[in-house]
């Protein structure tokens, strides 16, 4: 069995640390990747960490995860609220899917209170800033070991 966890990031997450730090924190995406690498390594896993601003690319990566990963951590960013195509791709997975958000979407604008991703996700981690990713990696690793 693969011990690779895909960590996929949607639009504007390349601007972490610059874009609205009062909401998303001061950690950069490189900082988040380093945290994920360390957490996964401590748990005996590796990660494949990616970011895109393009919906089709994100969907291609989700489809790739079907056979290349044991679990998926996904921060869909704005696509979580808009992309039925992303939901359809996620429904093809049989591996654990952890939806991850830096902020707590339920405590923000009404349009952020629900996501299409949640309809296909195994679980959700949100509201802990960059720590959300570490918690999501831990959940993904734990769930991927279940028979």
pLDDT value, residue 14: 94
Percent of the chain that is helix, strand, coil (3-state, to 5): 45, 20, 35
**pLDDT at residue 111 greater than cutoff 80:** no
Region of 12 (left: φ > 0; alpha: ψ -120 to 50; beta: rest) is left
- CATH dotted code for 4-144: 3.40.50.9100
The pLDDT mean for the chain works out to: 90
Catalytic residues: 24, 101
Q: Which CA distances in Å does 142 have to 10, 104, 145?
A: 24, 23, 6
Residue 18 in tokens: 């610059």
Model pLDDT for residues 49-95, shown as the tens digit of each residue: 999 999 999 999 999 999 999 999 999 988 888 899 999 999 999 99
Higher pLDDT, 112 or 75: 75
**pLDDT at residue 137 greater than cutoff 70:** yes
From the list 8, 138, 142, 28, the residue with the least C-alpha distance to 75 is 8
Q: Which CA distances in Å does 137 have to 5, 24, 46, 82, 108?
A: 8, 19, 10, 25, 24
Contact 140, 73 (CB under 8 A): yes
**pLDDT at residue 107 greater than cutoff 60:** no
pLDDT value, residue 20: 66
CA dist., res. 104 & res. 10, Å (int):
16
**pLDDT at residue 2 greater than cutoff 90:** no
**pLDDT at residue 41 greater than cutoff 80:** yes
Domain residue ranges in the chain: 4-144
Q: What's CA 30's distance to the chain center, in Å?
A: 15
């Amino acid at each position: 069995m693969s011990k690779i966890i895909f960590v996929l990031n949607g639009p504007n997450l390349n601007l972490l640390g610059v874009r609205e730090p009062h909401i998303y924190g001061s950690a950069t995406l490189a900082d988040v990747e380093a945290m994920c690498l360390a957490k996964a390594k401590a748990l005996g896993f590796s990660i494949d960490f990616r970011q895109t601003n393009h919906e089709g690319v994100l969907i291609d990566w989700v489809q790739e995860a079907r056979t290349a990963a044991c679990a998926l951590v996904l921060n869909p960013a704005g696509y979580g609220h808009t992309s039925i195509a992303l939901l359809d791709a996620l429904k093809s997975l049989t591996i654990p899917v952890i939806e991850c958000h830096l902020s707590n979407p339920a405590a923000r604008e009404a349009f952020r209170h629900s996501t299409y991703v949640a309809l296909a996700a195994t679980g959700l981690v949100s509201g802990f800033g960059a720590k959300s990713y570490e918690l999501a990696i831990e959940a993904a690793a734990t769930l991927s070991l279940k028979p």
